[in-house]
Structure 1
Amino acid sequence: MGKLKNKNDQRVDFIYQVLQDIKQTLKKYGSDIWILFGDPVHEIPKLAESINANAIFVNRDYEKYGVNRDNDVQKKLSELNKTFQSFKDQVLFEADEIVTKNNTHYSVFSPYRNNHLEKLLISGSGVSSYKLDDITFEKFNIDKMLTLDDIGFNSSNISSFQIATTHQDIQKQINEFKDRLEHYDQTRNFPAIKGVSYLSVHNRFGTISIREMANICLQNYATSGSKSWLNELIWRDFYFQIIVNFSHVQDGHSFKLQYDNLQYENNESFFESWKQGMTGFPIVDAAMRQLNTTGYMHNRLRMIVASFLTKDLLIDWRWGEEYFKEKLIDYDFSANNGGWQWAASVGCDAQPWFRIFNPLLQSQKFDSDGKFIKKYVPELSEFDKKNIHEPHAKFTPKDYPKPIIDHATQRPKALKMFEHVNNVVKKQH
């Protein structure tokens, strides 16, 4: 957290507000919560010793930083003769729980999903129901509550986007989505309507349990919407097991290692236009401006802008991955890395590398009336639904740039880039 460049980072503000709500809730029961800021390898053993704790219980992490951090914490606690216990929490099934009949790890989603789903339908989500009134709390009180200023951060604009940060509001958001879940599969790809769950930030930070989410799907499994959303939750588990079982992706490598040799053009001017939402492709620009403004981007749009960056602008997918890391409020390494590699055709995707999204067709199909575009690209607010997707075809929009590339020209370049690497691999074998 201390390495974050943006001191108005929404993620820090979100965590802070959630912790405040937890603290106030616990105080109603005469209890409290310690909120510390610093190196966990130092702070956790120090706290454990100061309160004379015999054991420390944590939920497992799967990224290298988290694994190394927890190993170091455990080592420090062991020196103090304190027990360290870790548990599965942020996934439905861990990396070694879903394997092939030959006890190997999956690298393609569909067979993984089938195995995962079979086990989930048999075992259930494992969710348990309880009330705070049924729990006995340790009675204590902590006077000082760290402020954002104490840890070198400021309040962000998170409150402007109605992101729930209290238990009560989060439950309201869950219930609101339940009412829309039946039609999720029909609405999820259209950014101008309220089709997706908007629960990803809660999934990322554990303010809603992944088991609670899965249980919602299982309780309504007869509907196609529930099945579709559960499929998305399984994708999440899939990417977690990828980073564990194929750890080279955590070191900046393509899942398919031969594609580390792709010769991207990496035009920095193009990259800057992409970041600022000034490429001249309305659906791409609207998506990037949504990200820059809100810290969120609709899932369909994430695929569109990633394909555009890597296969139209011919820029290394890792540049885009890093930018999303900086901006996304729901940033999660495994999902972000997996999504970027999928879009760039360098990851664990069963589809061929020559799948290239046409940004114009994507715009016409998923924002046909241009409502989403107009929300984030006001320069095009006067355009009708026929012309808004390709505004420069007949007009000269004021203050809106011409397309920086020609998709028809760039597509064969992308194909040639992949063909070159594939031909080299063939010769080597």
Structure 2
Amino acid sequence: MTSPVLLWLHRELRLGDNRALLAAVASGQPVLPIFVLDDETPGAWRPGEASRWWLHHSLAALAADLARLGAPLLLRRGRIADILPSLVRETGASAIHAGQPVEPWARRVAAELPRLAGVPLVLHRTVTLFDPEALRSGAGTPYAVFTPFSKACLARGPAAPPLPAPAHILAPERVPPSDPLEAWGLLPGQPDWAGGLRGTWTPGEAGARQRLAGFLDHTMEAYATARDRPDMDGTSRLSPHLHFGEISADQLWHAARAAGDGPGQIAFIREILWREFSAHLLWHHPTLPETPLRPNFARMPWQTAPRALRAWQRGRTGLPIVDAGMRQLWQTGWMHNRVRMIVASLLVKHLMLPWQQGEAWFWDTLVDADLANNAASWQWVAGCGADAAPFFRIFNPVLQGRKFDPDGSYVRRFVPELARLPDRWIHEPWAAPADVLEAARLRPGITYPAPIVDLAAGRARALAAFASLSAT
């Protein structure tokens, strides 16, 4: 019996442009794809609840796609460093193929696997556009500023052309038993909070292709300007598909290039490169999710305010565009990127709560929760990360709302208590005259909360904190 090779799937839940899968097939040996749900390895960021919902459906879709090519999808739960060596012994596998992980804990596991399993581990680029070690500044150091990083990426030429899916996968004669996907309990019980997710998303490679096609046909042309407007359908919403590897960064790059070279395409490629920059930062700074890149921010005088944190999490801050964003997140598992910056700025600057608390909430509630993107973006907003200049930037949620949701349609969608307010007052209901509030059936502090922070006082406190860091 010919020995198989294992295909360890981590964040490449697709058949198309999957270099690890194609290399395993090219070996001429039977291929056994396996996904391990590892909630036990020290340092591993256990997937949040929204991500677990997505993972269930993505694995179900992948299993069906693999079955059509003749291969099973083996599911096991436990420590990867235990499961894969055990499976090598069980099957007599001669090698393991896998995508190069970016997460620090997964990189540590990958480094130990050849010794533990006793067979080669062959890693392939499946998550990023470029080899994470390939991009260095002129001084030979990792990049810390996005613009020179993006220029270096563009100077390398186009991303590698996407590769087609294999036509057939040779399966082993004997397939070890697999965990039933339902036994993992990735879906919510009661209460079932996932209705908004089901109504918004179609996880899986086919869903990713459909989302990309819709974006190219209807949104790409206006993307450069519409992407900042939460009241419009102006973004790609491809981030969860990209995070789970249902579509590759190479595929998105070439799809954008094929669509032309207008402002929308240029802006979209810039967003792909921001994702690449986040991975670059995590690769070279493994403590990025926990520790500020700027050491002086370890002295930031953060506050302890559990009630304010809870109000922020539930969209009950009394600041309409913030509450709309937090409720959109709770209902759909996703939030518009402009609004992500607004709600994050309120938390870490006006409320002076640690960025790690916001990072943890996003990790649990976002379907596109990505360790590199989440950590890099929260550090950027907090002012303690890479390229965070000016680090003392503080978003005013009223002004941001007026600029990017001018008629309040985004707020009205997710904060229906405010639906009857005129546009003039939709982003500042506490300032509306009494007759306007009465006509809108709005009772500040009762039917909708009063602001949990005075914006001017919160801004002054944050600027004083930044000044204290500079002075010490």
Structures share a fold, TM > 0.5? yes
Q: Distance in 2 between matches of 1:340 and 1:422?
A: 21
Q: 2:384 aligns with which of 342, 346, 350?
A: 346
Q: Deviations over 1:287-315 (max 9, x none)?
A: 11111122111111110001111111111
Matched, 1:167 2:167: no
Is there any run of 5+ residues in structure 1 with no aligned partner, and where? 425-429
Q: Distance in 2 between matches of 1:314 and 1:154?
A: 34
- Shift in CA distance, 24/142, structure 1 to aligned 2, threshold 3 Å: farther
Q: Distance in 2 between matches of 1:148 and 1:245?
A: 35
Shift of 1:168: 2.9
Matched, 1:303 2:351: no
1:208-357 to structure 2, matched below 5 A, reads 208-250=247-289, 252-357=290-395
Matched, 1:113 2:147: no
Q: 1:198 aligns with which of 210, 213, 237?
A: 237
- Shift in CA distance, 57/158, structure 1 to aligned 2, threshold 3 Å: farther
2:88 alignment counterpart? 48
Kept after mapping to 2: 8 A contact 1:127/1:215: yes
2:161 alignment counterpart? 127
- Shift in CA distance, 7/362, structure 1 to aligned 2, threshold 3 Å: closer
2:183 alignment counterpart? 150
Q: Distance in 2 between matches of 1:284 and 1:238?
A: 27
2:25 alignment counterpart? none
| Bigger shift: residues 331-340 or 46-55 | 46-55
Q: Distance in 2 between matches of 1:295 and 1:323?
A: 11
Shift of 1:109: 0.8
Kept after mapping to 1: 8 A contact 2:101/2:107: yes
Matched, 1:12 2:45: no
- Shift in CA distance, 358/50, structure 1 to aligned 2, threshold 3 Å: same
Kept after mapping to 1: 8 A contact 2:97/2:121: yes
- Shift in CA distance, 351/36, structure 1 to aligned 2, threshold 3 Å: same
Q: Distance in 2 between matches of 1:7 and 1:205?
A: 11
Shift of 1:197: 0.6
Shift of 1:23: 2.1
Q: 1:368 aligns with which of 379, 382, 406?
A: 406
Matched, 1:87 2:121: no
Q: SS of the residue aligned with 2:202?
A: coil
Q: Deviations over 1:341-390 (max 9, x none)?
A: 11111111252222111110000011111111111111111112111111
Q: Deviations over 1:23-68 (max 9, x none)?
A: 2233233332212222211111122222211000111112221112
Q: Deviations over 1:125-165 (max 9, x none)?
A: 213342543x4533658696644441233354465233122
Q: 2:465 aligns with which of 387, 395, 417?
A: 417
Q: Distance in 2 between matches of 1:168 and 1:239?
A: 26
Q: Distance in 1 between matches of 2:184 and 2:338?
A: 35
Q: Distance in 1 between matches of 2:103 and 2:242?
A: 16
Shift of 1:95: 3.1
| Bigger shift: residues 395-404 or 409-418 | 395-404
Matched, 1:25 2:65: yes
Kept after mapping to 1: 8 A contact 2:359/2:378: yes
Q: Distance in 2 between matches of 1:374 and 1:145?
A: 47
Instruction: Return structure 1 stretches of 4+ with deviation > 6 angstroms.
Output: 3-8
Q: SS of the residue aligned with 1:36?
A: strand
| Bigger shift: residues 135-144 or 154-163 | 135-144
Matched, 1:378 2:411: no
Shift of 1:417: 0.3
Kept after mapping to 1: 8 A contact 2:322/2:342: yes
- Shift in CA distance, 8/91, structure 1 to aligned 2, threshold 3 Å: closer
Q: Distance in 2 between matches of 1:210 and 1:303?
A: 23
Q: Distance in 2 between matches of 1:56 and 1:158?
A: 38
1:427 alignment counterpart? none
| Bigger shift: residues 224-233 or 263-272 | 263-272
Kept after mapping to 1: 8 A contact 2:51/2:365: no
Kept after mapping to 2: 8 A contact 1:324/1:336: yes
Is there any run of 5+ residues in structure 2 with no aligned partner, and where? 1-37, 189-193
Kept after mapping to 2: 8 A contact 1:256/1:347: yes
Bigger helix share: 1
* 1:68 aligned partner, one-letter code: R
Q: Deviations over 1:386-417 (max 9, x none)?
A: 11111111245241001111111111111110
Kept after mapping to 2: 8 A contact 1:292/1:327: yes
Identity %: 28
Shift of 1:6: 11
CA RMSD of the aligned region, Å?
Answer: 2.3
Shift of 1:189: 0.8
Q: SS of the residue aligned with 2:141?
A: coil
Equivalent pairs, count: 416
Q: Deviations over 1:205-264 (max 9, x none)?
A: 1000111011112223511111101111111111111122233424x2211111111112
Kept after mapping to 1: 8 A contact 2:197/2:331: no
* 2:241 aligned partner, one-letter code: H
